[in-house]
Amino acid sequence: MSRLLRIKPMSMLSQEAGEQGEHTLKRSLGALNLITLGIGAVIGAGIFVLTGQAAAKYAGPAVALSFVLAGITCAFAGLCYAEFASIIPIAGSAYTYGYATLGELVAWIIGWDLVLEYAFGAATVASGWSGYFNSLLQQYHIYIPPQLTTTTGNVLVFYKEQWTPLMTLPPGIDATGLPHVTGICNLIAVAIVMVITTILVVGIKESANFNSAIVIVKLGIVGVFLAIGGYFLFRHPEVAKANWHPFIPPSDGHGNFGWGGIPRGAARIFFAYIGFDAVSTAAQEAKKPQRDMPIGILGSLAVCTVLYILVSTVLTGLVPYSTLNVGAPVAVGIDATGISWGATMVKVGAVFGLATVMLVMLLGQSRVFYSMSKDGLLWKWASAIHPRFRTPWITTIVFGVFAAVMPAFLPIDNLADLVNIGTLLAFTIVCAGVWILRVRHPKMHRPFKTPLVPLVPILGILSAGYLMTQLAFITWAVMIGWLLLGLVVYFGYSLKHSKVQNLPQAVEAD
């Protein structure tokens, strides 16, 4: 058992952080790039999809409090991430931090778990992007063959000059006489993932610049929504009063709404926050990681939390929360203001916003597997660096294809919850790791120090663990099955090829 708990020595991590040359990742990101990287991942599916669904199904107008609860949980974890990122400026995020503190087996589990967070998350977002993009095209009477715009077996009907899923028709509409088609594959989702993958292969600096430009666009669109919606509510306070009452709807007896609906909503919107920890996966490409990583992690988290709270508050003030369980809830909200161009603006924002979410998720996944391969836990091709672009190009392409295939053929209804549980598990391990490292190496130089240790890590562990208990049993079952598959790979390949296992005197976790 002691072999499985061998940790990666800090001396080895420091050596890797200082490596340079054509076979290493290129350090080209500043603090602003890192902040926009985090915002690029966080501001997307959360605002454009999940806010409305969480309000309609779990929390009502109190979804704003769900974002507060989720943001507090992220703040505890973010402070711990910032300390680790300043000490260990290595690609790999929670995987690397776990390896340095909790041992190889725990590191493997969290690295494998991050596949749920990033690759599956990118696939889910690709499906959402496809829907918004196709809706935007159809608004201008541009029609892609509908069989190639949705997953296998999904039925679409032609209603109000748009191909729309049968299940989303308004109540009372008879679909019998409407044209029907059955989906073959979602070719749009495949195409966008391939485009994003190409951008990531070309180079991290180019990817970051692309992301920064889009972040500016979508933040501007979110700002316009807040300005239009806020002004409308200021002019019509009776609308807000009616829609915000009751602010916490009475419980439905099944754990939804009421005070219990707030944490359930928080657990399900956690997907909206997964991007900020992706900043830490780019630590090995930051120019001054000890200074810039904490700024990037905490800065992006603070900006996004404030925006989520504001958007959810304005949205539930504009329309009754019960009407928001739709694919484009923000468009529904802005339509209520009477601004005709509002829906188009939101769709454009969603197209840009979700593209950057996919970019950061696929970037994060490739960097985690790059780190695992460098440690000998995965095959050598996963850490192969392109001689010209200096990016982990093979693993980027492999995961790009993987993320493209899933939304092409599979309806992924519960994938957001799988991403949530993967993220929360990562947060728990990082918080525990900071506490353990403080005990083992209290005098280590820490450019950024998490305040109030061990209180902050303990609160991070408890809050993340509590939100995990709010997720459905099937989510736990799939995650456990996925981790068991990972253990097969670990004992079949990784344990034999691990560089740490082959050290003359490997350090063991206490």
Strand ranges for 57-167 from DSSP E = 155-159, 162-165
Give the rounded distance of the alpha carbon of 212 from its chain centre: 17
Higher-pLDDT residue of 253 and 16 is: 253
> Per-residue pLDDT tens for 272-319?
777 666 676 666 667 777 777 788 888 888 888 898 899 999 999 999
**Which segment of 202-206, 261-265, 398-402, 432-436 scores lowest on mean pLDDT?**
202-206
Name the strands in the sheet holding 155-159, side by side, starting at the edge strand that comes first in the sequence. 162-165, 155-159, 180-182
* Cβ neighbours for 494, distance < 8 A, ≥ 6 positions apart: 108, 376, 377, 378
Q: For position 1, what pLDDT does the model report?
A: 57
Q: Cβ distance 205 to 30 under 8 Å? A: no
Radius of gyration in angstroms for the set of CA atoms belonging to the chain, rounded to a whole number: 23
- How crowded is residue 459: how many other Cβ atoms within 10 Å of its Cβ? 18
Tokens, residue 288: 């001054």
Question: 């034999």: which residue's tokens?
Answer: 496
Q: Cβ distance 469 to 255 under 8 Å? A: no
Task: Give the separation between CA 364 and CA 279, rounded to whole angstroms.
Answer: 8
Going from the C-alpha of 468 to that of each of 308, 460, 461, the distances in angstroms are 21, 12, 11
Q: Is 392 helix (H, G, I), strand (E, B) or coil?
A: coil
CATH of the domain spanning 2-16+25-139+210-379+413-492: 1.20.1740.10
Closest CA to 304 of 18, 37, 109: 37
pLDDT at 206 over 70: no
Q: For position 509, what pLDDT does the model report?
A: 47
Q: Cβ distance 42 to 275 under 8 Å? A: yes
pTM of the model: 0.76
> Per-residue pLDDT tens for 27-76?
556 677 777 777 776 777 677 777 888 898 899 999 999 999 988 988 89
Return the axis-axis angle of helices 204-235 and 31-42, rounded to nearest 10°.
60
Please state the domain extents for the chain.
2-16+25-139+210-379+413-492
Instruction: Label residues 175-206 b or e (16+ Cβ within 10 Å = b).
Output: eeeeeebebbbbbbbbbbbeebbebbbbbbbe
Over range 389-399, report the average pLDDT: 85
Question: 């951008």: which residue's tokens?
Answer: 199
Polymer length of the chain: 510
Q: What single string gives the DSSP state of each residue in 21-38?
A: STTS----B-HHHHHHHH
- Taking all residues of the chain, what is their mean pLDDT, rounded to a whole number? 81
CA angle 323, 326, 330 (to 5 degrees): 80
**DSSP-assigned letter for residue 186:** B
The sign of the torsion formed by the CA atoms of 298, 304, 310, 313 equals negative
pLDDT range class, residue 391, cuts 50, 70, 90: confident
* Cβ neighbours for 174, distance < 8 A, ≥ 6 positions apart: none
Return the axis-axis angle of helices 455-469 and 63-87, rounded to nearest 10°.
130
- How crowded is residue 493: how many other Cβ atoms within 10 Å of its Cβ? 14
pLDDT at 179 over 80: yes
